[in-house]
Amino acid sequence: MSTMKTKETERYLKRRVQFKALSPVHLGSGEVWKPLEVAHLDETLYVISRAKWARFLQQEGRQGDYLAFIRGRLEEDRPAHLQGFLEERGWLRRELLEEIALYTVRCPQAAAATSPSGMRAFARNGYQQPYVPGSAVKGALRVAILFALLERLPEANRRSLLTRVINQGLSRLKSEGKSKVRKQFAQALDRELLQGFSLQGKRGEPHTDILRVLHVHDSEPLPSETIRVEEIKVYSVGATEPKGFSIYAECLEPGTEFSIEFTIDQETLADFRKASQTYGLPFEVLEELVRNPFEAARRWVQALLNHERKFFEEQFGKHGVFDFGDEEEPTFRVGWGGGMLGTTIDLLLPPGRLREVRNRLFKNRGTAPAPKTRRLTVNDRPLGWCTVLAPEPKSG
């Protein structure tokens, strides 16, 4: 058993990385709680268990009343929300809400319970404990590594590659539609830069994706008090005020620390080293990025940070949005709220080319900067910015 453990230790290089959130971070579960699924009391949002609520209504014999309330609101063209029903019946009490809640989250804004767009949930496990998904961290690392690889190409090669990928995508626009073409852009770059290996006779598919060797694990469950609901506004270039609606999302609070373990499969990495790679980059460049992905993330984030600071000052007249205090600078960005630039390599595209892609694949905004909109909390904080502490080796 000792020999087996030694071999496993030699094959897998393990690191545990400590993160600190510098701004609110939203990592969505895909769940959006609608107004009939939440209630608010005393700066707490109660996400209601459908089963517990149905059981309570049955015990009270009020199923008909509840359905009539919803039907009446719809007939009057008024919003139907649980908050209103509970208030009308005198049931907006902590004891009842705790009895029927799936979980609770701190929420200063009562309007989150009645917002027509609902409230975006944070990723949670089966026990309703929040956590940071490893898939979200790996997704951010993938973008950072692609960005770093493209940066390292000679300018003429990079321009040629991006032009070819974009032109091929736009040529399929009429036959395949915007949604499919948008997805294919990232897939095309993956095939060129990360999947161009020949392994067991296969090439250009997930099996030959070098990031197979990088396994990023979920964080441990986070304390529930590290999550709170943030009210988020959308700013658009040319407008003096944010748009009239708000977005509500559960976010990790600034100052929260969490850790992620990632593993590098050195044996499989050696197989990639022996394989042929189609694009003209030395394998050592790619291997260094895979072994030190958070250095790639730091460089990508610095470029993004410089761009966004300038953009907010010039377009919105907002200074200090990206000042995080205590002389801390972000070295990682993850999660929702960063827009097109925060989740892609689009920062490397010339502004005119980026506008063309935006106008043809998303909404046509003419000559307006691409992207045109940005999201901030009502306290003027950006979303998703973290700092990464130095990864430490983990013994086998």
Q: Residue ranges per domain, the chain?
A: 12-23+138-218+260-393, 35-117
Give pLDDT, residue 142.
Answer: 95
- What radius of gyration do the chain's Cα atoms show? 24
The SS3 of residue 264 is strand
Cα–Cα–Cα angle for 160, 163, 164, nearest 5°? 85
Give pLDDT, residue 7.
Answer: 62
Mean pLDDT of 198-211: 77
First to last CA, the chain: 13
Lowest mean pLDDT across 44-58, 247-261, 319-333, 363-377? 319-333
Q: Report the 3 state secondary structure along 302-360.
A: HHHHHHHHHHHHHHHCCCCCCCCCCCCCCCEECCECCCCCCCCCHHHCCHHHHHHHHHH
Which residues on adjacent β-strands are paired with residue 332? Answer: 386
Q: Above pLDDT 70, what percent of the chain?
A: 93
Q: How sure is the predictor about 395, in pLDDT bands with cuts at 50, 70 and 90?
A: very low
Give pLDDT, residue 338.
Answer: 92
Give the global pTM.
0.92
Give pLDDT, residue 76.
Answer: 92
| Sign of the C-alpha dihedral computed for residues 92, 98, 103 and 107 taken in this order | positive
Alpha helices of 90-195 — where are they, by DSSP H?
A: 94-100, 134-152, 155-171, 173-176, 178-193
Res 307 pLDDT > 50: yes
Q: Which residue has the tokens 């909109």?
A: 373
Lowest mean pLDDT across 120-129, 171-180, 345-354, 355-364? 171-180
Lowest mean pLDDT across 79-93, 293-307, 337-351? 337-351
Compute the distance between CA of residue 309 and CA of residue 314 in angstroms, rounded to an integer: 9
Lowest mean pLDDT across 166-170, 225-229, 324-328? 324-328
Give pLDDT, residue 394.
Answer: 46
Give pLDDT, residue 384.
Answer: 97
**Average pLDDT taken over every residue of the chain:** 91
Compute the distance between CA of residue 72 and CA of residue 79 in angstroms, rounded to an integer: 10
Q: Which residue has the tokens 């030190």?
A: 292
**Following CA atoms 72, 76, 77, 78 in sequence, which dihedral angle do they give, to the nearest 10 degrees?**
-70
